[in-house]
Structure formats: C-alpha cells, structure tokens
C-alpha cells in the first residue's frame, strides 16, 4: 500500500497576490503534490483552510500516514478542534512535515510546547542549506548543500526544543544562520520541520527541495498500526497483570507460597 500523504495549505497568498499566483498558479499544495508525483510509493491528497473542517475531518486524518503543513497568514483561523485532532493523530503515529512559516502554526507550537519564534527578513537573499547529517534518510540525493538564490532569511535564535536531529543548517547572505531542517518525535509520530518555502520565491520548484520533501515523507512514515490508545491512562488491577514468564527449569515463587523467602 502506498504512503498516504495529505498536503494541507491555507491557500490564501496564491489567490490574493498576483506575484505568488504566477509562481504557484494552482497553489503551493499543487506544487508539492507535483514534487511527490514522481514517487510511486506515495498517494497524495490535498486539503485547504476554506474547506469544511479545513479538509481535515476525522476520516481524512485516519486515512493519512503523513501530513504536510503550509500556513502563514491564517494560523489563528485554524479551529482548535482540528488542531487537537491533528495532534492526536501525530501521537498515534501519523508523520508531520511542517514547512516554512508553519513554525508559527497552532499545531507546531502545540507539539513543540515553546513559542517557536525566530528572526526574519524578506530581502531576497541567497540561502545555502548545508547538509550537516549526510547519512540521514532525509538528505539522500541532496549533496553537500542546497543553494537558493533568493530566500527569506530565517535566523536564530529559533525558540524550539532541542531537536532529535539537526539535518540542515542554513547560512544567509546577510550573515545569519538557522537550523533549517530539524526532526522530532512526539508520541509515535515523526515530525520534520523544513524552513525554506517563502511564497514569493519558487522554492518548491527546486529539484533538491523536492528531493527533500520526498525523502521526508518516507522518513516520517510510521508503518506500525496507529497507537490509538496513546492518550488513555487506564487503571490496571493486579489481576490483569500479564502472566509472569518463568525461567526455564526454575519455579517462580510468590509471597505467601511455600518456598518463598
């Protein structure tokens, strides 16, 4: 069965800004879907803010192995109930790839538990994403660095928890550095934050960026059955304890039984 990917996009800039529409005429989600189309082990679905329940009804999330998130202007419009539902699915094992300005999305802040603030500057600067973990599945086929001729500067300090792994570190023409590829695990869910993707630059058309997205989907996929009881904390009576495993050839004695000391 293919990896079932849902690409979520707030889909506002592309409809309201001619410059953005020229780069992404069908939306950023369509460009990401096209990037994933060359992966024959992936099946893609798209969802946007304006749809009922933002396109993220319980049935859709239950049928999603990896969710990709692009949002910027409308973080506050994302319903808390939907955010809670996405968080629950991540804990159950759904992968989550948060892109660019999604650092300030409700779902990312909730899963990180920190402000997720950063420094930024929109000046079309050159960005060089150094691959600092060349053996990581997400960096395969990318080479030593990804060069973006024009990018929005995202700079440190980035107020996120210390990551599980730092995969990319970016250098910007203006001098700043930024941890631009970070992995986390929350519950059974694998999370990847990938910083590039400002809407006025054609970043999701870049071949190496598309390679990262395909790699990230495969990395974030957790094939284990959904851990649906992840939020439950049931009382367990002692009578329900599993049977002890007895060492071969040795009798197991319990308090009160003959032979116990």
Closest to Zn ion by CB, 101 vs 180, is 101
Closest to Zn ion by CB, 87 vs 107, is 107
Which residue in 87, 65, 91 sits closest to 78, CA to CA? 87
Q: Alpha-carbon distance 194 to 183, whole Å? A: 9
Binding mask 192-231 for Zn ion (x = CB under 5 A): ------x---------------------------------
5-34 positions binding Zn ion, by CB under 5 A:
none
Residue 103 CB, nearest approach to Zn ion (Å) = 10
Answer positive or negative: Cα dihedral of 72, 78, 83, 89: negative
For the chain, how are helix, strand and coil distributed in percent, rounded to 5?
Answer: 30, 30, 40
Residue 197 CB, nearest approach to Zn ion (Å) = 7
Residue 58 CB, nearest approach to Zn ion (Å) = 30
Closest to Zn ion by CB, 54 vs 100, is 100
Binding mask 145-184 for Zn ion (x = CB under 5 A): -------x--------------------------------
83-112 positions binding Zn ion, by CB under 5 A:
101
Residue 189 CB, nearest approach to Zn ion (Å) = 25
The residue behind tokens 């660095």 is 145
CA angle centred on 101, ends 55 and 54, rounded to 5°:
10
Q: Does 75 bind Zn ion (CB under 5 A)?
A: no
Residue 72 CB, nearest approach to Zn ion (Å) = 6
Q: Alpha-carbon distance 124 to 148, whole Å? A: 10
Closest to Zn ion by CB, 101 vs 139, is 101
Q: Alpha-carbon distance 137 to 67, whole Å? A: 18
Q: How many residues bind Zn ion (CB under 5 A)?
A: 3
Residue 120 CB, nearest approach to Zn ion (Å) = 7
Alpha helical stretches, state H, the chain: 13-16, 18-23, 28-36, 58-62, 80-92, 106-112, 207-220
Q: Hey, how many other C-beta atoms are within 10 angstroms of the C-beta on 186? A: 16
Q: Which residues bind Zn ion (CB under 5 A)?
A: 101, 152, 198
């Amino acid at each position: 069965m293919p990896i079932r990917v849902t690409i979520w996009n707030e889909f506002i800039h592309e409809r309201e800004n001619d410059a953005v529409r020229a780069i992404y005429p069908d939306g950023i989600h369509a460009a990401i879907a096209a990037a994933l189309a060359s992966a024959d082990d992936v099946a893609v679905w798209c969802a946007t803010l304006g749809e009922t329940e933002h396109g993220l009804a319980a049935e859709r999330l239950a049928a999603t192995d990896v969710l990709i998130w692009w949002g910027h202007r409308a973080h506050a419009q994302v319903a808390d109930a939907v955010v809670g539902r996405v968080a629950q699915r991540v804990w159950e094992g759904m992968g989550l790839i948060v892109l660019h300005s999604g650092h300030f999305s409700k779902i990312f802040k909730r899963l990180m538990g920190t402000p997720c603030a950063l420094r930024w500057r929109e000046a079309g600067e050159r960005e060089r994403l150094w691959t600092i973990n060349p053996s990581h599945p997400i960096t395969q086929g990318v080479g030593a660095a990804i060069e973006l001729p024009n990018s929005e500067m995202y700079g440190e300090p980035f107020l996120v928890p210390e990551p599980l792994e730092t995969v990319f570190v970016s250098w910007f023409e203006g001098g700043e550095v930024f941890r631009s590829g970070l992995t986390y695990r929350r519950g059974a869910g694998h999370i990847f934050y990938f910083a590039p993707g400002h809407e006025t630059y054609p970043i999701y058309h870049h071949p190496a960026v598309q390679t990262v997205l395909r790699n990230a989907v495969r990395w974030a996929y957790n094939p284990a059955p959904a851990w649906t009881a992840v939020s439950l904390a049931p009382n367990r009576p002692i009578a329900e304890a599993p049977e002890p495993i007895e060492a071969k050839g040795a009798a197991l004695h319990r308090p009160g039984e003959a032979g116990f000391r």
